[in-house]
């Protein structure tokens, strides 16, 4: 096998593994959209803030990674609920631009709280698998990326079980398909919405922790790129589709790593965005989208 082929496959592998974090963020955006038909721009920053809270606990207690992880997830779930209260609950139901703006304000706010607390400096994040490397034939699997992928997979599995095997999941699906009929059947819209925000917030917390430990540090500078990547993933997958977001996230990861390899850092994002633009124009509903645009 030529070196080129080996490198290409190596990038594919890295991109695939790293893409699982995009998938998680995309799932968060897509689930909220599926239930409410509205966008929560503050979602990615929720995950990041969760990770920071975990980090705070780590600095206070020097506890094990699992504690950091749990703290991050719990905090992100709570922030998710706050966002639902502040930006969605009392907004007019048929005007999606109001919560869009409100969540943009929330994004600024959370971002600023983090910048304020950390003085805008990046902070080292514990990386439990940072040193681990695994050989697979001529290829290397980075431990942190492998860890990221496995945890993401577990979260996706848990989400699947939640959406398809529980009463809450049933209610969620009912609300996302027929909000009025669901209400007539006695499903409390407010409670479902709140639950979805808490759950997606927790998913964001997992994503934030994973990205923190894969990158090795956390920085407020991450919030905008992560928001954009998450949105891209959700839209690419066809808004409202969880499997779509998973496929799109992995795909985005692969495209980014390959573009980085072939075109260098200066052109990586350009290639990604060109592909995205072309894709949206030729397939306006996304990968798995039945509903075209809103």
Partner 1 sequence: MEFYFALATLFGFRILLGLSAYVVILTGQISMAQAGFYALGAYTAGAATALWGWPIVPAVLLGAIVGAVFGFLVGFPALRVRGLFLVIATLAFTEIVRMVFLNLKYTIRVGDRTIGPAAAEGFRGITYYFENGWSSLQIAGFTWLFVLAVLLAFWLMDRSRAGVVLRAVGEDELAASSVGINLTAAKVSAMTLGGLVAGLAGALYAHYATYLSQEEFGVLLASFAVAYPLIGGTGSVLGPIAGVLFFSLLIDGLRFLGDWRNLLFGVLIVAMMNVRPHGIIDVRLVRRLAALLRPAPKRAYAGD
40, HSE (Cβ side, Cα atoms, 13 Å) = 37
Given CA atoms 100, 101, 106, 111 in this order, what sign does their dihedral have? positive
Listed residue (10, 250, 260) closest to 141, CA to CA? 10
Q: How far is the CB of 290 from partner 1 (least distance, A)?
A: 13
Residues 6 or more apart whose Cβ sits within 8 Å of residue 258: 8, 11, 12, 15
What minimum distance in Å lies between the beta carbon of 164 and partner 1?
Answer: 25
Closest approach, Cβ 90 to partner 1, in A, equals 6
User: For partner 1, which residue of 9, 74, 100, 170 counts as binding (CB under 8 A)?
Assistant: 100
Q: Please tell me whether residue 101 binds partner 1 under the rule CB under 8 A.
A: yes
Nearer to partner 1, 160 or 277 (CB): 277
Contacts of 42 (CB under 8 A, 6+ apart): 83, 87, 103, 104, 106, 107, 110
Give the binding range for partner 1 (CB under 8 A) out of 5-13, 53-61, 84-92, 131-139. Answer: 84-92
| One of 32, 102, 159, 259 touching partner 1 (CB under 8 A) | 102
Give the closest residue to 46 by CA, choosing from 210, 198, 172, 238: 198
Q: Is 160 in the site for partner 1 (CB under 8 A)?
A: no
6 binds partner 1 (CB under 8 A): no
- Tell me the two tokens of residue 204: 């964001």
Nearest to 41 by CA among 205, 224, 237, 241: 224
Helix axes 43-61, 65-87, angle to 10 degrees: 140
Residues 106-125 interacting with partner 1 (rule: CB under 8 A): 106-113, 115-116
Residue 277, interface with partner 1 (CB under 8 A)?
yes
Q: Which of 71-79, 177-185, 230-238, 254-262 is the region at the interface with partner 1 (rule: CB under 8 A)?
A: 230-238
Positions that interact with partner 1 (CB under 8 A) = 33, 39, 86-87, 90-92, 95, 97-102, 104-113, 115-116, 224, 227-228, 231-232, 235, 239, 266-267, 269-270, 273-274, 276-277, 280-281, 284-286, 292-294
């Amino acid at each position: 096998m030529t070196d080129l082929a080996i490198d290409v496959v190596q990038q594919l592998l890295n991109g695939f593994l790293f893409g699982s974090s995009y998938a998680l963020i995309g799932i968060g955006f897509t689930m909220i959209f599926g239930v409410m038909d509205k966008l929560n721009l503050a979602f990615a920053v929720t995950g990041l803030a969760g990770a920071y809270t975990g980090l705070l606990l780590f600095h206070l207690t020097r506890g094990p990674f699992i504690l950091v992880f749990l703290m991050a997830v719990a905090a992100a779930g709570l922030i998710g609920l706050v966002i639902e209260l502040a930006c969605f609950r009392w907004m007019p139901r048929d005007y999606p631009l109001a919560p869009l703006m409100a969540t943009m304000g929330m994004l600024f706010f959370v971002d600023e709280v983090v910048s304020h607390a950390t003085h805008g400096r990046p902070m080292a994040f514990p990386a439990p698998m940072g040193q681990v490397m695994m050989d697979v034939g001529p290829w290397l699997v980075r431990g942190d990326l492998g860890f990221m992928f496995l945890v993401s997979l577990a979260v996706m599995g848990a989400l699947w079980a939640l959406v398809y095997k529980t009463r809450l999941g049933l209610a969620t699906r009912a609300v996302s398909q027929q909000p009025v009929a669901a209400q007539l059947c006695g499903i409390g819209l407010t409670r479902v919405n709140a639950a979805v925000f808490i759950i997606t917030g927790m998913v964001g917390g997992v994503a934030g922790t994973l990205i923190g430990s894969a990158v090795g540090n956390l920085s407020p500078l991450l919030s905008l790129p992560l928001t954009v990547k998450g949105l891209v993933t959700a839209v690419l997958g066809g808004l409202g589709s969880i499997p779509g977001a998973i496929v799109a996230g992995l795909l985005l990861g692969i495209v980014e790593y390959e573009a980085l390899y072939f075109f260098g850092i200066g052109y990586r994002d350009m290639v990604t965005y060109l592909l995205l633009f072309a894709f949206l124009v030729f397939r306006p509903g996304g990968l798995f989208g039945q509903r075209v645009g809103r």
